[in-house]
Amino acid sequence: MDAALTKYEEILERTKAFYLTSSRIKLERDFYRLFAQFLLDLTRREGTAPLTPASAVELERWIKARLTDLTQYLHTQINGGSRANGTLRDAAELVTNGHLQATTEAAALAGVSYSANYDRIPERTLRLMIMRSQAEGLSESFRSLLPLRTRELAGDIDTFLVHMVATGESWQSSTTRLAKILSRDNASVLDALGQLGPRGGRLRRFLKAEPLPEVDLKQAKQLLHRSRRIVITETNQAYHTSDIVASAASPVVLFLVWTLSGRHAGLPSSPDVCDLIALHDAGYGPGHYPPEICPSLLHPYCLCTTRKVLRPASQWRLPKPPIARPQGLSRDAAETMLLGRAGDRVPTSAFVRAQWQRANRKIFASYTTYQELADVGS
Ligand SMILES: [Zn+2]
């Protein structure tokens, strides 16, 4: 491969590495700090008198209000709200700058001049994410998941407080137990607590020492886990999707080749839909997709990435080949692929069906969305 193309790849790789080691780490840190502050505020009210039905109602109202605030804050943090500069946009801007720099430097090395239009990539990315998630019909996005979970959680907290009133627990003891359940020995959130001054440090030591209460709060225990999952997944999706949009705009990128993360094979859920997308030939070669119809990330925490197939400088001024409807994956082919990679862990037929259906949903949602956007001329 010539120097210009090597340079292009190098800059994209550096951009991704920066995102993973700096940008995303900051996002996670902010998220944990926010959650720790909520726990600290939860336990701030002093009180050794037993929790009464009336004070339980008051406490419950306070928790619900704070969780709504937390959800709203995360939503703004991610989507930007009226400020329109959330983490989704940050990720999209990072990718846009990467492609812009890669294009400029590759052109200089190749000694050619051509123009690429990377205008409004963050806006186009956000629109594509929304359109694709609607076309996929998979309700995993921040917009749908968190409000729903918060409602289920409310029932859990109600149950917990009724129990605390019945057993004569004080306000203080009830809130610290709840903090214990909500933090669930999570090292990251405990570390964040430790950084919130002496009171945070004290609560951290206390939560580490306190055993988990026996009351089982299914939703509450998972709140932190789920919120983090959504924050991370949505932002990764923004990174991936803006890379799709920028690659489509780039005269240099011909195909994206679906690439599993290094850790994928070792996961208990592997092989899964990621393997299917990486192996499937939609008409462009195994795992090869024109950027415009490259699927979105396949499941929460999906760490798949894409390798780029680049065009030589002599082709940069030529239009890219037209995009044909991708071929779907047959159930038999999906089964063969999964069995071929499963080793001793033979997947159930329900698992095979679910992964196969998800692969096709992702493939066709990308194409449908591409057509819709082509119709409106953007
Ligand atoms: Zn994946």
pLDDT at 89: 84
73 and 210 part of one domain: yes
Q: In the predicted model, what is the mean pLDDT of residues 340-361?
A: 90
Q: Where are the beta strands (DSSP E) in the chain?
A: 253-259, 288-289, 305-310
pLDDT tier for residue 297 given thresholds of 50, 70 and 90: very high
**Domain end position, chosen among 227, 250, 273:** 250
| Residue list, CB under 5 A from ion ligand 1 | 274, 298, 302, 304
Return d(Cα 305, Cα 102) in angstroms, integer: 18
219 and 166 part of one domain: yes
Q: What is the dihedral of CA 278, 279, 280, 284, to 10 degrees?
A: 80
**Mean pLDDT estimate for the chain:** 87
Q: What is the extent of the structural domain holding 375?
A: 253-378
Q: In the predicted model, what is the mean pLDDT of residues 9-22?
A: 92
pLDDT at 198: 95
Closest CA to 194 of 33, 22, 31: 33
- Interhelix angle 187-194/197-209, rounded to 10 degrees, is 150
The alpha carbon of residue 217 and the mean position of all alpha carbons in its chain are separated, in whole angstroms, by: 25
281 and 137 part of one domain: no
Q: In the predicted model, what is the mean pLDDT of residues 161-185?
A: 87
Query: What is the 130 CA–ligand 1 centroid distance (Å)?
Result: 20
Name residue, tokens 């709140």: 223
257 and 209 part of one domain: no
Alpha carbons within 13 angstroms on the beta-carbon side of residue 236 total: 23
pLDDT tier for residue 68 given thresholds of 50, 70 and 90: confident
Query: What is the 299 CA–ligand 1 centroid distance (Å)?
Result: 7
Query: What is the 18 CA–ligand 1 centroid distance (Å)?
Result: 20
**Domain end position, chosen among 200, 235, 250:** 250
221 and 293 part of one domain: no
Query: What is the 75 CA–ligand 1 centroid distance (Å)?
Result: 24
pLDDT tier for residue 330 given thresholds of 50, 70 and 90: very high
Lowest-pLDDT range, 11-25, 79-93, 124-138, 314-328? 79-93
Q: What is the dihedral of CA 152, 227, 130, 64, to 10 degrees?
A: 50
203 and 284 part of one domain: no
Return d(Cα 18, Cα 371) in angstroms, integer: 33
Residues above pLDDT 90, as percent of the chain? 48
**Domain end position, chosen among 250, 277, 299:** 250
pLDDT at 344: 79
288 and 217 part of one domain: no
288 and 144 part of one domain: no
Task: Give per-residue pLDDT as tens, 149-159.
Answer: 666 777 788 88
pLDDT at 139: 60
pLDDT at 77: 73
266 and 376 part of one domain: yes
Name residue, tokens 């999964």: 338
Taking 90 as the threshold, does the pLDDT of residue 114 lie above it?
Answer: no
Closest CA to 359 of 138, 143, 125, 145: 138
pLDDT at 377: 57
Query: What is the 71 CA–ligand 1 centroid distance (Å)?
Result: 26
Task: Give per-residue pLDDT as tens, 78-100.
Answer: 776 555 567 888 889 999 999 99
Q: pLDDT: is 353 or 219 the higher one? A: 353
Return d(Cα 275, Cα 101) in angstroms, integer: 32
208 and 130 part of one domain: yes
pLDDT tier for residue 48 given thresholds of 50, 70 and 90: confident
240 and 338 part of one domain: no
pLDDT tier for residue 343 given thresholds of 50, 70 and 90: confident
User: For the chain, how many structural domains are there in total?
Assistant: 2
Query: What is the 14 CA–ligand 1 centroid distance (Å)?
Result: 20
186 and 127 part of one domain: yes
Return d(Cα 295, Cα 360) in angstroms, integer: 10
Query: What is the 280 CA–ligand 1 centroid distance (Å)?
Result: 14
pLDDT at 137: 84
Taking 90 as the threshold, does the pLDDT of residue 367 lie above it?
Answer: yes
Taking 70 as the threshold, does the pLDDT of residue 305 lie above it?
Answer: yes
Query: What is the 245 CA–ligand 1 centroid distance (Å)?
Result: 19
